[in-house]
Amino acid sequence: MPDEKVLPHLLRLLDDESEVVREAVARELAAFGGALEEELRRLREPPNDEQRRAMRALLSDPRRWQRLRHAWLHEAWPTWREKETPLDRLEAALSILAEFQKSPEYPLSSQEECVPPPRKPLSVMLDDLAGAFRAEAPPHDARALARFLFETLGIRGSRSDYYNPLHSSLTHVIETRRGIPITLACIYILTGRRLGLDIRGCNWPGHFFARFEEDGAIVVVDCFNGGACIDEESFLKMQGPSRDAAKTVLEEDAGVEDIVARVLHNLVHAYQHSEQWEDSRIMIGLLKAMPRPQH
């Protein structure tokens, strides 16, 4: 995130008549992402209504906003690969995609209006989910976490609006409690990580499951369908003559690159479905630049 110390200087430049300066100011403001509103509130002299109106005008221009978000993504995207552990990399990649998909609403409220609370970053939302689960009565195992997320909290699969690109944003999924199989599974995996639970992804064709081990046997979790927990033998019986192939897929961990690539594939098709052609093209570019998955 950029240095908050530059904000007072940026506010003074809001009324500059130079388009070059205005574009630079807009780029710096947009770089704060969802943290901008919180940083503005912390200033010794917060922006007045006139300055907020200027920010609204500056960042609500659709063409400018699209340029800014694409430039931000281009800069931010490579950083997820620098994280130390696989789940750190997964969370970082999904955080970047969630920030990219946020609308520019956060700096656009007037002081005269009811200013919404700043949007929480993904890491804080996941911390909150883990904290809420810890407050529940035992057990605190993977099966109980699935029940908590997908039954108690009601996070579930979206059937009526399946191809909405926002279903690939984990922050949006947590806020709305609706998502697609892979994002629901990622929320389960990353929340479980905070609780010391070893939950992994299963890259099933046409679907995505999570899985954990219980008494030495695999348990498959269908996060899209209410977090249903299915023991390995029952799951394999459902596959009929494809049992052996299913067992191979079930026992193979979905790597971080596999998961990120699949999320990007989903975004390509979701953006095409909603005729957001430029965003689809950007996702195709990210997908082509993905490192080869390591198995």
| Tens-place pLDDT, residues 189-226 | 999 999 999 999 998 888 999 999 999 899 999 999 99
pLDDT beyond 80 at 116: no
- Is residue 165 domain-resident? yes
Domain tally, the chain? 2
The continuous run of DSSP H or E covering 220 comes out as strand 217-222
Do 139 and 200 have their domain in common?
yes
Question: Which of the listed residues 101, 131, 156 is the one where a domain comes to its end?
Answer: 101
For 75-100, write each residue's pLDDT tens digit. Answer: 899 999 999 999 999 999 999 999 89
Q: Let me know whether 95 and 192 are in one domain.
A: no
Two tokens at 55? Answer: 């920010």
Residue 294 lies in a domain: no
Which band of pLDDT confidence, cut at 50, 70 and 90, is reported for residue 295? very low
Give yes or no: residues 95 and 234 share one domain.
no
d(CA 237, CA 26): 57
pLDDT tens digit sequence for 163-172: 999 999 999 9
**C-alpha dihedral over 146, 150, 152, 158, to 10 degrees?**
170
Measured CA to CA, the distance from residue 81 to residue 291 in angstroms comes to 10
Within this chain, do residues 61 and 158 fall inside the same structural domain, yes or no? Answer: no
pLDDT number for residue 118? 55
Has residue 114 got a pLDDT over 50? no
What domain range is 237 assigned to?
Answer: 122-288
In degrees and rounded to multiples of 5, residue 36 shows phi and psi of -60, -50
Higher pLDDT, 180 or 249: 180
Q: Using 50, 70 and 90 to split pLDDT, how confident is the model at 31?
A: confident
